[in-house]
Amino acid sequence: GDKQLTMNMFYSFQ
């Protein structure tokens, strides 16, 4: 199956 990416792979915590 496909691998699900997550938000923190794209955006960093402020």
Partner 1 sequence: MLELRLVQGSLLKKVMESIKDLVNDANFDCSATGFSLQAMDSSHVALVSLLLRSEGFEHYRCDRNLSMGMNLGNMAKMLKCAGNDDIVTVKADDGGDCVTFMFESPNQDKIADFEMKLMDIDSEHLGIPEAEYEAIVRMPSAEFARICKDLSTIGDTVVISVTKEGVKFSTRGDIGTANIVLRQNTSVDKPEEATIIEMETPVSLTFALRYMNSFTKATPLASQVTVSLSSELPVVVEYKIAEMGYLRFYLAPKIEE
Size of site (CB under 8 A) for partner 1? 14
CB of 4 to partner 1, least distance (A): 5
SS3 call for 11: coil
| Least distance to partner 1, CB of residue 6, Å | 5
Distance CA 7, CA 11 (A): 6
**Integer-rounded Cα radius of gyration of the chain:** 10
Query: According to CB under 8 A, which residues from 1 to 14 bind partner 1?
Result: 1-14
Residues that bind partner 1 (CB under 8 A): 1-14
